[in-house]
Structure 1
Amino acid sequence: MNTLAFEVTDGVGWIRLARPEKHNPFDNELRTDLMSVLEQVRQDPGIRVLVLAGTPGAFCAGGNLHVLHEHLDSGAHYWQRRIKSGLRFTQDMLNLGRPVIAAVDGPAMGAGFALALCADMVLASPRARFSMAHLRLGLVPDLGALYLLPRVVGLQRAKELMFSTREVDAEEARQLGLVMEVHDSEQLEERARQIARSLTQAAPTALALTKAALNASLDSDQQSMFTLEASSQAAAFASPEPRAAIEALLAKQAPPFRGFPKVKP
């Protein structure tokens, strides 16, 4: 794959965008490569967690302006097909039955911002910047941003970020809930590895069921969520995974998964 590198170590799949000279643009080639990796992850139960990172100082600059310019006269049908293809990737990413961690060490602009929103948890360095820059080009936010951003920051703030196209630094992004933790660039990927490694010890069935239920929660009513909770817990108990944890606790031993390690001061 020309746009990214992918490796798996100790149950953690690591995607690294690999075109820093272009600031890792999100184009058809990157989308195709990302969807190929997601399919590989789905087919391999040994991959328990996925980490998405850019390159030092660059996460994803959004659309490739040269490619966009080439297709300005392609017509509405072309653009509708292209955007729908991007949304299929968004759905694949959101519905992946593994935790996804984004490590953002540079600008996440436009579709790059939306790409970060597809992750379950976002870590950032002080070099990270986020901007819904689409209106600068006379375009509408895409790659699922219209759905995802209001669910993270609320409707009014999502409108402000999209209308203004302003850049948000890492600390403000943390305050808005866009970013979970901020770490220096030198520690960012190690913290992502630390969290990912701890999650490889969590029961994969329960983790996947919890992620799916949480994703459904903001679009569901109370009774639907109660029903989903009951069916999800029944599925978790039907798996072999709770036995080890319960028996370890009864034997006064540490269970296999004890949560995230604390952030070092």
Structure 2
Amino acid sequence: MDTLSFEVVNRVGWIRLARPEKHNPFDAELRADLMAVLEQVRQDPEIRVLVLAGTPGAFCAGGNLQVLHEHLDSGPHYWQQRIKTGLRFIQDMLNLGRPVIAAVDGPAMGAGFALALCADMVVATPRARFCMAYLRLGLVPDLGALYLLPRAVGLQRAKELMFSTRDIDAEEARQLGLVMEVHESEALEERVRQIAESLTHAAPIALALTKAALNASLDADQQTLFTLEAASQAAAFAAPEPRVAIEAMLAKKAPPFRGFPKVRT
């Protein structure tokens, strides 16, 4: 693939964007390659966690301006279909039954910001910057940003970030809840690896069910979510992992999954 590389190490799939000379633009080629990787992950139960990383100093610069310029006169139908295709990819990312971690070491602009919002957790470096830059181009936020950002930071702050198009640094992003942890660039991949590999020991069915229920939680009413909780727990108990974990704890042994490792200082 020209736009990214993909490898699996210790049951963790690592996607690394691969066009640093262009700041890893999000275009049709990258979208197609990402969708192909997601299909590979869905078909391989041995891949327990997915990591999405940019390149040193760059995550994703958003849309390819040259390509956008070439299609300025393409008309509403073209743009509607293009955006719908992007949204199908976003749905695939959000509904992937594996944890997704974004490792951000540089700017995540426009669609790049939206791409980071698709991750279940974001780990960043001080070089990370996030910007909803769409209005600078006279455009509406897309790639799911209108849905994802208000749920991450609240409606008023989402409006402020989209209307102002200002950059936010990694520390402000952490304070807003967009970033889980901030680490120096040289420590980023090791910390993401620690988190990802620890999650490979979690019960995969329970983890997928928990992710799906949490994704539904902000849109579902109380009774719907309670019903989903009951059905999900019944499905989890039907899997072999609860027996292994409960019997280990009764025998005063460590269960297979004990959470994330502590941050090393």
Give the match for residue 221 of structure 2.
Answer: 221
Partner of 1:208: 208
Paired position in structure 2 for 1:93: 93
CA distance in 1, matches of 2:247, 2:14: 33
Quote the residue 1:106 is aligned against: 106
CA distance in 2, matches of 1:43, 1:247: 31
The answer on 1:131 being equivalent to 2:131 is yes
Residues 28-74 of structure 1 deviation map (CA, whole Å, 9 limit, x = unaligned) = 00000000000000000000000000000000000000000000000
User: How far apart are 1:203 and its partner, in Å?
Assistant: 0.2
User: What SS class does the counterpart of residue 113 from structure 1 fall into?
Assistant: helix
1:262 and 2:258 are equivalent in the alignment: no
List per-residue Cα deviations over 1:179-209 (Å, max 9, x = no partner).
Answer: 0000000001110000000000000000000
Tell me, in whole angstroms, the C-alpha distance in 1 between the residues paired with 2:102 and 2:190: 12
Name the amino acid aligned to 1:48: R
Match of 1:23 in 2: 23
Partner Cα separation in structure 1 for residue 143 and residue 82 of structure 2: 10
Letter in 2 for 1:35: M
2: CA distance, partners of 1:47 / 1:247: 26
1:72 aligns to what SS in structure 2?
A: coil
| Whole-angstrom CA distance in 2 between matches of 1:224 and 1:146 | 24
* Counterpart position of 2:174: 174
Distance 1:167 1:46 in 2: 38
Shift of 1:264: 1.6
Q: Distance in 1 between matches of 2:6 and 2:75?
A: 35
Alpha-carbon separation, structure 1, partners of 2:133 and 2:57: 19
Normalised by the length of structure 2, the TM-score is 1.00
Tell me the amino acid that sits aligned with residue 156 of structure 1: Q
Give CA deviations for 1:81-132 in whole Å, capped at 9, x if unaligned. Answer: 0000000000000000000000000000000000000000000000000000
> Aligned-pair distance for 1:240?
1.2
Q: Which amino acid aligns with 2:226?
A: F
Q: Distance in 1 between matches of 2:243 and 2:68?
A: 53
Q: Which secondary structure state, in structure 1, belongs to the residue aligned with residue 32 of structure 2?
A: helix
Tell me the residue number matched to 1:63.
63
Paired residues, number? 265
Q: 1:115 maps to which residue?
A: 115
1:250 and 2:250 equivalent? yes
Query: Which runs of structure 1 show a deviation greater than 6 angstroms over 4 or more consecutive aligned residues?
Result: none
Name the CA distance, whole Å, in 1 between partners of 2:190 and 2:101: 12
* Unaligned ranges ≥5, structure 1: none
TM-score, normalised to structure 1, is 1.00
1:116-151 per-residue CA deviation (whole Å, 9 max, x = no partner) reads 000000000000000000000000000000000000
Aligned to 2:7: 7
Counterpart in 2 of 1:52? 52
The unaligned stretches of length 5 or more in structure 2 are none
Structure-1 separation of matches of 2:99 and 2:127? 24
Q: Which amino acid aligns with 2:186?
A: E
Equivalent-residue separation in structure 1 for 2:130 and 2:46 (angstroms): 33
Give, in whole Å, the separation in 2 of the partners of 1:190 and 1:92. Answer: 27
The equivalent residue for 2:238 is 238
Return the alpha-carbon distance in structure 1 between the equivalents of residues 84 and 159 of structure 2: 22
* Equivalent position SS for 1:46: coil
